Amino acid sequence: MVETYSDNFVVQCLRCDTPTPEDREQDDIYCQECASPLVNKCTNDNTQHFGNHDDSCGITLDPEAVYCKKCATISLFASKELIENKYPDAEIASLHSQTQDEIPF
Please give the Cα distance from 4 to 15 (Å, whole number).
15
**Residue 10: its pLDDT value, please?**
97
Q: What is the pLDDT of residues 31-47, one digit of tens each?
A: 999 999 999 999 987 65
**Residue 75: its pLDDT value, please?**
95
Question: Which residue range(s) make up the domain with 7?
Answer: 1-105
**Residue 80: its pLDDT value, please?**
96
Q: What is the pLDDT of residues 44-56, one digit of tens each?
A: 876 554 555 456 7
pLDDT < 70 regions, the chain: 46-55, 91-105
**Residue 63: its pLDDT value, please?**
97
Please give the Cα distance from 90 to 72 (Å, whole number).
10
Report the predicted TM-score, pTM, of the whole model to 2 decimal places: 0.77
Question: Which backbone phi and psi does 78 adopt, to 5 degrees?
Answer: -70, -40
Domain count, the chain: 1
